[in-house]
Amino acid sequence: MLLKIRSSISWRLKAAFIYLGLLQVSACGFQPLYSGQGTGDSVSGREVEQRTASVFIDEISDRIGQILYQSLSGNLTPLGEPENPQYRLSVNISGISTSEQAVRRDNLATRYLMTMTVKYSLYSYPENKKIMSGDFTKRSNYDVQRSPYATDVAEQTTKERLAKIMGNDIALRVAAFFKGYEDPRDEKQAAGEERQTDTEAEPENASREEDDISVEKKAVSEEAEQVEERQL
């Protein structure tokens, strides 16, 4: 019974500290990447989600490339490939290397350090104009196992883990880019819609003017008839 009471008190204290920590973070002005409303130099969270969902991701070759692709698509386009893509993301694993990190006295390695480098570019679609590019380098280590097979499995697992991390980081960077990006095509589209609205309004205005003229002619005609009747 005493252990349950202590456990309950401990959990409440942890919850209180977490709550206070969130309040402090909020007070510092922190906002999640997709939160907030659009300003003059940024867009709202909903617009960011719409833009990331409109990114077509190029296929990436080999097994590790597929894992990287799945990580990217899971973060950027969780609902599937866009039907009408507005952007295209090209990602390439430029290098994977391993180096000895720990060596025993008999010069046998007991731990390896793996380094993975990925380059990416974001293009407008279908214009194919590059609007963003960059690269990432991540490192992770794995231990040498007793059997060569187990060591190979550890190496493959490390590659897959790095690929997933790369996908998360690239997706986050793309979303951060969209949060402050003003697509010039949006302005052109808005201008085109405004011109179309004006063009649609012109026939309506002309029709109203014709109706006004008809009313005036009718009034003049009636007034002339009244004048003739008075003369008679």
Q: What is the pLDDT of residue 178?
A: 93
Q: What is the pLDDT of residue 192?
A: 55
pLDDT at residue 168 greater than cutoff 80? yes
Phi, psi of 3 (to 5 degrees): -65, -40
In the chain, where the domains are located: 34-185
Segment 156-175 mean pLDDT: 96
Q: What is the pLDDT of residue 105?
A: 80
Q: Helix 148-179 to helix 62-76 angle, to the nearest 10 degrees?
A: 40
DSSP secondary structure letter of residue 121: E
Q: What is the pLDDT of residue 123?
A: 97
Residue length, the chain? 232
Which residues have a Cβ under 8 Å from the Cβ of 84 and sit 6 or more positions away? 54
Kindly report the pTM of this predicted structure.
0.65
The CATH code belonging to domain 34-185 is 3.30.160.150
pLDDT at residue 76 greater than cutoff 90? yes
89-144 confidence digits (pLDDT tens): 999 999 999 999 888 887 888 999 999 999 999 999 999 999 999 999 999 999 99
Q: Which of 109, 108, 112, 110 is nearest to 98 (CA)?
A: 112
Segment 57-64 mean pLDDT: 94
Q: What is the pLDDT of residue 224?
A: 59
DSSP letters for 4-43: HHHHHHHHHHHHHHHHHHHHHHHHTT---TT-S--BTTB-
Where residue 158 falls (left for φ over 0; alpha for ψ -120 to 50; beta otherwise) is alpha
Going from the C-alpha of 199 to that of each of 186, 195, 202, the distances in angstroms are 20, 6, 5
